[in-house]
Each structure stands twice: as C-alpha cells, then as structure tokens.
C-alpha cells in the first residue's frame, strides 16, 4: 500500500535511501578497498549476513572480501550507520545465516531467518513445508497450526483455508499488504486500479455512477452524480463561548477528534453523539495539532511564553487519553504535519524577527531528533511533506512563508540542503499547506487574496470562484484518498458567509482548477452560528474511515469559538 510503505529510514542517519547515486557509491567503495570484487550493487540490502557481522562495528560503506559457496570471492558492505556488514554478494543471491547460498531477494520466506527454504519456519532442512506460507510452523498451510492437513499450500493468509485472501505475499508478517497497483485489493486498500471490488456509487450512499480509484488505492466519490455541495451543522457547547478554536485532528480510526483552542483548552469530539467537551487545559498557546499514523499519539504544538512547545497526548487501546509532559521546541511553533510514509512529524516555527525558520522533526519515541534552521524572505506559516517523485525520490519538506512577505523553501532531507523552489515574486502571502495524499501536487492557501498556490515541482496558482480578493484563507486539508480538499477562511460579505471551498479532484493526479467549488456557509451571522466579520475558520479535518464524506471545521473570533460539522449533501450515508 502506498501510504504504508516505509521509507528506508526515519531519520537521515540510519539507512540508505533509494536516491543514492550508485556511481558515487561505487567510486567511494573503490577508494576504500583495492582488493574487493564489487558485484551485485543493485541488489545490496542492509540486513546482515551473519550474527558476527551484524554486531561488528565498521566504517560506513567500507568493504570486506568474503567467499561465496562456489568458492568465488565477493564483498560485503558496511551500512551507513557503521553498525555491521551486510551479506556476502554472490551473483543473484546472498550468503544466509545458515551458511547456504539460498537466501534470494524477495524469496517470500517471511521470517528473516535467512534459511532460504521459503517456509518461514527457520529450518533449512525442512522438506515437507510448502514454499511461501510464512506462518513459522513449517507445515505449508499458512495458518500457523502445525497439525493442519486440509488447507492449501502457501496461501499465506494465516487462516488456513487456502484461499490466499489474507496476506498471500508469503512474507509471513500477516499484514495482508500487496503493492498498490497490482490490481488486487489488499489490506488497507479499498480499490486497486480499475478493480473497485464491485462497489458502486449507490452502495457508497450516492445516487448513481461508478467510483474512481486514487493512486494510493482508495475509492474516490467525486465521480458519483450530484452537486457535492456541503451542508453544515453547529456543534453546541457552552464551553465554546469563550474559547476561539484554532485547529483540529482526527484519530486515524475516525472514532473521535481533538480540537484545540488558543486558550490552551483541548476539546474531544464524539461523532456518535455529535458533541464536544473540554478534556484538558494545557499551559500555553496552541497553534496546531496532528495525529500519528498508528493513532497512538497526538502532538499539539504552539508556544509557552517565548519558547516553542509540544504537548504529546498518548492514546491507549480504549482510546483513553494521557497528556504527557511538555517538550521544548526550537522556536514558537506555527504548524505541524505528519509524514504519510514514515509517521515523522515536522514542526515549523519562527523567530521573533520572522526571518529565521526552524523545522523540528519529532516522533513519540525519540522526541525531537533533527532540526534545521534557515533564512527565508518571510516568516514561516506552514509546511507539507512533498511526494518523493517531485525531488527524484528524495524525502523533502516544503515550507510556506507569509508573514512580512511571501516565499517558499524546500528542505531536501537526503542531502540536508535548503533550496529555493521557484516561488513566484508575483504571488501573495502564503499560509498553511497540504500535499495530496495520493500524490501529484500540494496546495498552499493564500492569506491575502482569493488565490491558492499549487506545487507539483513547479508553481501555479488558481483563483477561488465566487469571491473577491478580500478573501483570506487559513487552512487546507485533504481526505485520505486525495479525492477532495477542503479550504477554509474568514467570514465576509453581506449577508455574512463563512468562507469554505472544495476541490473535487477525483482520481486525477494533475491539478484541475475547474473542480474548485464555493461551498461557503451562508447566513453565518444568524442562528445557530451568530458569527461576525471578525470570525476566521482556522482549521479543517476530513473524518477518516467513515462511510460519510465529511468532517469538522473549527474557528473563532476574539470572543468565542465554533466547531462545525460538514458533509456532502448528496451522500446518504451522512
């Protein structure tokens, strides 16, 4: 699955990236050894060939000579972390842990024991197990029951029925993941290419039509018939009367959401009761919130006095929350985004003079494990993780800058360089940003006009429909398939409207400005909202894992806050 594919390492010092220049690597290794026979570089893997080599510290990328089973000499390479040598490279295979030359790349044995027999039981002498079951018991049925005699060999699904519908990839990890794009609907996928599993728009709650499939193998409903206008409902809570809301994030399960107020109050929203209540108050001024990919942690960021601050919130198996000790960031935080591939959270902050941008990389285990500081033409206002294809496979963060100017920069993590990305001098102030989950391009909201900015390796812009240049956008969020994006901003006009726009992108990876729709909340100054021209909608979040295409929008003015439900008016599941 696209979203679940881990990059080669979570930080820049732990493993080799796919963007490595192999000619440079070859050059480097040749300079370090004159006796090594360099072979099979393209098949190099970071796992170690023996217990001794695995634990033997070595100079990163140094090479030792090893002997293949056929008597020929080859090489083993020290990994970039210097923690051990990899396996001996022998033709199309490597020397496994049992000393045989049978462990081939992608053999499907699933256990990592290196025995190469494919049955996953770790016993190289086994002759009765069926290759690829990966269950660890050696009987070949894939169900983990050594006494089973009825299941089909090598199904890999772990259920013993022989149909192969669980995992089927023979990796033995039970994750059920095949690659997105193989035409098979694997675990965590709702479609794959033209295969939508017999699902129709009618079964998804719409009138008619055939759903599409995004490049990250998630169903898209923009193709279903209907206007796809949004409708809204106010979430009533007396606590909101004095708490301007600034951000919202859903738990990946979709079971609940957390919304934050500038006063430090944290609300928990329950979709089953459509209600919100304060669950904690933190000491500081929050500005952003994000959830980890596995749902174990929320990270709230902002400032505590003059210091940048991060407040971790852990989530147990029962969805109970624990607010952990506050952690210090490099600068007062403005925005936070979770990398959909590695789960690393990036936090953007700025100095009091706005000229220096700080980006901290954080995860729940390590805390802040990397920091980058750099100058830009304006103060930072947002950031987004770029699709790796934009920078030739490299992991990169794009920052948007809209305080006291307008600018954008790219931090390429693989090379640890911050580079310009050709932000146009004719563009206005840049605000929050979000890259499309299924790839193609990212969006940056304009905070001083009715324009959004689109980045796909080069910048373009598009004008919002049906509004004047006084529109100020504040946030953008994509649903999990990248089918739709919602953009929110200030309330303006007479009668008063709270600015909301939707991009109905569908499965197309190329930005289509014609699918932008003005779905602003009309009569916002009337009951039950009673908004004012000083009101800004500050954050939006699509609910994941829901049959309803909808989510939450939060906002506030100087006196009160709002939490609003939104959903597609044509979706009967809502």
pLDDT reading at 165 higher than 90 = no
Strand, coil or helix: what is 205?
coil
**Can you read off the two tokens belonging to residue 353?**
């003079």
The torsion region of residue 288 among left (phi > 0), alpha (psi -120 to 50) and beta comes to: beta
Percentage of the chain surpassing pLDDT 70? Answer: 70
Residue 511 has pLDDT above 80, yes or no: yes
Residues 407-411 have a mean pLDDT of 97
pLDDT of residue 389: 86
Report the C-alpha gap between 154 and 95 in whole angstroms.
24
Q: Is the pLDDT of residue 155 over 90?
A: no
- Whether the pLDDT of residue 230 is over 90: the answer is yes
Q: Residue 310 and residue 329: Cα distance in Å, rounded?
A: 7
**What number is the average pLDDT over the span 407-427?**
95
* pLDDT tier, 62 (very low <50, low <70, confident <90, very high otherwise): low
Spatial CA neighbour of 371 closest among 361, 357, 383: 361
Q: What is the pLDDT of residue 72?
A: 62
What are 511's two structure tokens?
């930005």
Token code pair at residue 197: 């599993």
pLDDT > 60? residue 21: no
- Cis peptide bond upstream of 528, omega within 30: yes
Residue 499 and residue 447: Cα distance in Å, rounded? 12
**How far, in Å, CA of 63 to CA of 43, rounded?**
15
Q: CA nearest 48: which of 78, 75, 79, 86?
A: 86
Predicted pLDDT of residue 81: 60
Q: Which residue has the tokens 């490299």?
A: 394
**Where do we find the tokens 């079971």?**
255
Residue whose C-alpha is closest to residue 539's, from 451, 467, 445, 460: 445
Which segment of 129-143, 263-277, 337-351, 477-491 scores lowest on mean pLDDT?
Answer: 129-143
Residue 340 banded pLDDT, cuts 50, 70, 90:
very high
pLDDT of residue 451: 95
With b for 16 or more beta-carbon neighbours within 10 A and e for fewer, the 482-505 pattern comes to: bbbbbbbbbbbbeebbbbbbbbbb
Strand ranges (E), 218-332: 219-220, 230-234, 245-250, 257-261, 265-270, 275-281, 285-291, 297-304, 307-315, 321-323, 327-329
Give the mean pLDDT of the chain. 78
Q: Average pLDDT, stretch 453-465?
A: 95
pLDDT of residue 469: 76
Q: Is the pLDDT of residue 295 over 90?
A: yes
Residue 507: band (very low, low, confident or very high) from pLDDT cuts 50, 70, 90: confident
Is pLDDT at 104 greater than 90 in this prediction? Answer: no
Locate the domains of the chain by residue range: 1-117+166-177
Quick one: average pLDDT of 232-245?
A: 91
pLDDT of 349-402, one tens digit each? 998 877 899 999 999 999 999 999 999 989 999 999 999 889 989 999 999 999
pLDDT(75) > 90: no
In the numeric block, which tokens belong to residue 342?
A: 């590695």
CA distance 41 to 376: 39
Residues 6+ apart with CB under 8 A from 35: 65
Residues 46-69 have a mean pLDDT of 52
Reference 338, options 450, 259, 249, 467; nearest CA is 249
pLDDT at 59: 65
Residue 365 tokens, joined: 């285990």
The pLDDT score that the predictor gives to residue 108 is 36
**What average pLDDT does range 193-220 have in this prediction?**
91
Q: Which two tokens stand for residue 503?
A: 């991009």
Q: What CA–CA distance (Å, rounded) separates 374 from 357?
A: 5
| 296-319 pLDDT tens trace | 999 999 999 999 999 999 999 999
Tell me the mean pLDDT in the region 49-62.
52
The most confident of the ranges 6-10, 105-109, 116-120 is 116-120
pLDDT at 243: 92
pTM of the model: 0.70
Q: How far apart are CA 273 and CA 254, in angstroms?
A: 13
Quick check: 17 pLDDT over 70?
no
Burial status of residue 215 (CB atoms within 10 A of its CB: 0-12, 13-18, 19 or more):
buried
- Where does the pLDDT of residue 406 fall: very low under 50, low under 70, confident under 90, or very high at 90 and above? very high
Nearest alpha-carbon partner for 432 in 505, 489, 360, 370: 489
What is the Cα–Cα distance from 314 to 199, expressed in whole angstroms? 36
pLDDT of 152 > 70? The answer is: no
Contact assessment for residue 4 and residue 177, using Cβ atoms and an 8 Å cutoff: yes
pLDDT of residue 88: 62
Can you give the pLDDT at residue 54? 40
374 by Cβ neighbours in 10 Å (0-12 / 13-18 / 19+) ranks as middle
Cα distance between residue 289 and residue 252, in whole Å: 13
């Amino acid at each position: 699955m696209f979203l679940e594919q881990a990059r080669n390492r979570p930080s820049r010092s732990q493993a080799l990236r796919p963007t490595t220049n192999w000619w440079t690597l070859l050059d480097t290794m040749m300079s370090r050894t004159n006796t090594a026979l360099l072979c099979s570089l393209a098949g190099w893997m970071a796992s170690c060939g023996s217990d001794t080599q695995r634990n033997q510290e070595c100079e990163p990328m140094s090479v030792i000579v090893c002997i293949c089973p056929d008597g020929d000499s080859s090489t083993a390479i020290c990994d970039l972390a210097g923690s051990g040598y990899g396996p001996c490279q022998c033709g199309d295979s490597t020397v496994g842990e049992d000393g045989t030359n049978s462990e081939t790349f992608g053999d499907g044995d699933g256990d990592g024991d290196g025995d190469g027999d494919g049955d996953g039981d770790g016993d190289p002498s086994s002759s009765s197990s069926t290759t690829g079951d990966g269950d660890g018991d050696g009987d070949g049925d894939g169900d983990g029951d050594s006494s089973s005699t009825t299941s089909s060999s090598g199904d890999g699904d772990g259920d013993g029925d022989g149909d192969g519908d669980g995992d089927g990839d023979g990796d033995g990890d039970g994750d059920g993941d095949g690659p997105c794009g193989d035409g098979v609907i694997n675990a965590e996928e709702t479609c794959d290419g033209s295969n939508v599993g017999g699902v129709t728009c009618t079964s998804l709650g719409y009138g008619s039509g055939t759903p599409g499939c995004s490049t990250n193998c998630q169903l898209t409903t923009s193709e279903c018939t209907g206007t796809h206008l949004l409708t809204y409902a106010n979430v009533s809570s007396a606590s909101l009367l004095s708490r301007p809301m600034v951000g919202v994030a859903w738990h990946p399960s979709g079971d609940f959401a957390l919304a934050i107020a500038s006063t430090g109050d944290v609300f928990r929203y329950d979709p089953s009761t459509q209600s919100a209540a304060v669950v904690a108050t933190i000491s500081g001024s929050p500005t952003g919130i994000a959830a980890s990919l596995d749902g174990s942690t929320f990270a709230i960021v902002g400032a505590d006095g003059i210091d940048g601050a991060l407040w971790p919130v852990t989530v147990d198996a029962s969805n109970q929350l624990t607010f952990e000790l506050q952690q210090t960031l490099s600068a007062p935080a403005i925005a936070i985004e979770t990398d959909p591939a590695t789960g690393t959270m990036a936090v953007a902050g700025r100095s009091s003079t706005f000229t220096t941008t700080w980006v901290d990389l954080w995860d729940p285990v390590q805390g802040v494990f990397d920091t980058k500081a750099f100058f830009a033409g304006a103060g930072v206002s947002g950031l987004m993780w770029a699709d790796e294809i934009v920078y030739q496979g490299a992991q990169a963060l794009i920052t948007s800058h809209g305080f006291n100017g307008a600018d954008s920069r790219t931090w390429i993590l693989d090379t640890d360089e911050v580079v310009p990305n050709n932000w146009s001098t004719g563009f206005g102030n840049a605000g929050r940003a979000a890259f499309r989950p299924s790839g193609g391009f990212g969006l940056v909201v304009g905070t001083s006009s009715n324009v959004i900015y689109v980045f796909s390796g080069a910048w373009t812009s598009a004008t919002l429909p049906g509004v004047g240049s006084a529109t100020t956008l504040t946030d953008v969020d994509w649903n999990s398939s990248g089918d739709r994006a919602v953009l929110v901003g200030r309330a303006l006009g007479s009668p008063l409207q709270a600015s909301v726009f939707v991009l109905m992108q569908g499965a197309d990876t190329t930005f289509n400005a014609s699918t932008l729709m003005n779905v602003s909340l009309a009569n916002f100054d009337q009951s039950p909202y009673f908004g004012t021209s000083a009101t800004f909608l500050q954050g939006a979040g699509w609910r994941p894992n829901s049959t309803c295409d909808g989510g939450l929008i939060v906002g506030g003015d100087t006196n009160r806050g709002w939490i609003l439900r939104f959903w597609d008016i044509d979706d009967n599941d809502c």
